[in-house]
Each structure stands twice: as structure tokens, then as C-alpha cells.
Amino acid sequence: MVGIPLKYRMTVRKLARLPRYKGRERYCPICDSHLKCFLPVTFPAFLKDSPFVTRQNAKCPVCGSIERYRLIYLYTKQKTNLFDPPRKKMLHTAPELILTEKFATSRYVDYLSSDIDPGRIGAMVKIDLTDIAFSTDTFDVILSSHVLEHIENDRNALSELYRVLKPGGWAIIQVPIIAEKTFTNPSAQTEEERFRAYGKEDHVRGYGKDYKQLLESVGFKVKVDDFVKSFSPEKIEYLGLIPDEEIYFCMK
């Protein structure tokens, strides 16, 4: 999609990919595609005896979105003011590019994406989340999804995200919750060992249900929103969502 303006990329994808998958059994709200199926997301074969198993009904064959992307998009559309006036300054860390297309083309979003290695994923600027080079109280909105599990000093990163968020602003800061209590496994040094411990080769910890307390410890007021439960089981399957995934909605 390089060279195609953001506002046209979804149209190009649909023209190229939708005919093969068009149907009525599933629906992707990000690309507005009616589909016969979502695709599975698989883990390496060596994890067959681990808790991390293939997720069926997961990936949109048109735009590539997975469950958490669709949940975040639905949540921001239905439960926040992101797409409504007034115009808001937004920081999107390690951006999901399919969501970038939605946020950056909104007339009410002054959008900035960042990554520690921006060229890797097409982010706009380089930012180290443990030392954010922006003034205190800069952003109205922050989205940071599945980033902290890659950062050794996650508390420093959260403190910085809290610092640059404006008073009255809000953030969605998601991590994969895979345990009752947050843990690290010092013996997990190789990619395979980290896969087995955390479900991904580049994660440095596994988060538990005590994650809310970590967010609160740096100053955030946190609502753990079970928004997905506002949909029926049939609608959850239709939209390709994870039935028990929660949104960590953080306020300053």
C-alpha cells in the first residue's frame, strides 16, 4: 500500500481481496466487509503442548485486522469522543497500521504515531516510551496496545504516558492478560523459551489480572470495561472478538 493515500487504501484492499471472501457469516467493522469467514492465527508447532493455541475466527482476510484491533475500533467509535468534535491530539504507540488509517483520516484527530524503530512499521516519529521527548500535558488521547510487554521498565513507560497525557485526557493501554498475577521467567532466554513462557518470542513478562493496580500506581484512574459483553455470543462470533477481552480505559 506504499504510495497510496491513506484514505484510499481500504478501497484498494477491498477491490483486491473481498471477492474471494465475500459472504454473510462474519463482519469486519474496520474495513466494513461482509465475509464468509475470518482466518485463524496460529502459533509455532513447538507450542502444541502449551496454553497458546491456534485462534480460530481471528484475522480479517481483507484488512488483516485481528480481534483486539476490532475491539479497540468498536470501543473508540461507540464509547469515546475520539471521532467527535473538538479536535484532539492523539499519540498512537507502535501503531496498528489498519487503525492508523481510521484515526489519521478523522477530521477531529490530530494524529501522531510513534515507535522505538519507526521505519520497521511505518510510524511517524521515534519515541522511547521510557523517556518521551514531549512536554507534560501534551496529548488528549493515547492508544498503546500490546507494547508494554516488550519493555523491560514498564512502570517507567507508564509514568511517561501519564505525564504527557493532558488532565481530563484518556488513554487505552492494553496488554495481553495471560495469568492471574503478573510474572517474569528469568530462565526464558531463547525465542522458543519466551514463546513458551509468554506466548511471543519478544515479550519480557506475562501480565496478570493485577495489571489494573500497575496502571493505578502511576496515577491513572482506571476503568476495566467489559464492553465486549454488551454483544450477544452470536454477535461476538460474527464480529470475530474474544469473549472475555477487557478494555483498560485510563483517565488523568
Q: How many CB atoms lie under 10 A from the CB of residue 183?
A: 13
Q: Where are the domains of the chain?
A: 6-251
- Tell me, what's the pLDDT at 48? 77
Q: What does pTM read for this prediction? A: 0.95
Q: Residue 124 carries which side chain, given as an amino acid letter? A: M
Give CA angle at 209 (207, 214), nearest 5°: 70
Nearest-5° Cα angle at 96, 136 to 64: 170
CATH class of 6-251: alpha beta
Mean pLDDT value of segment 27-34: 97
For 229-243, the pLDDT digits (tens) are 999 999 999 999 999
Reported confidence tier of residue 111, pLDDT bands at 50, 70, 90: very high
Q: What is the mean pLDDT of residues 172-184?
A: 98
Contact of 59 with 161, CB cutoff 8 Å: no
- Distance, in Å, from the CA atom of 144 to the CA atom of 222, rounded to the nearest integer, reads 15
Q: How confident is the model at residue 172 (pLDDT cuts 50, 70, 90)?
A: very high
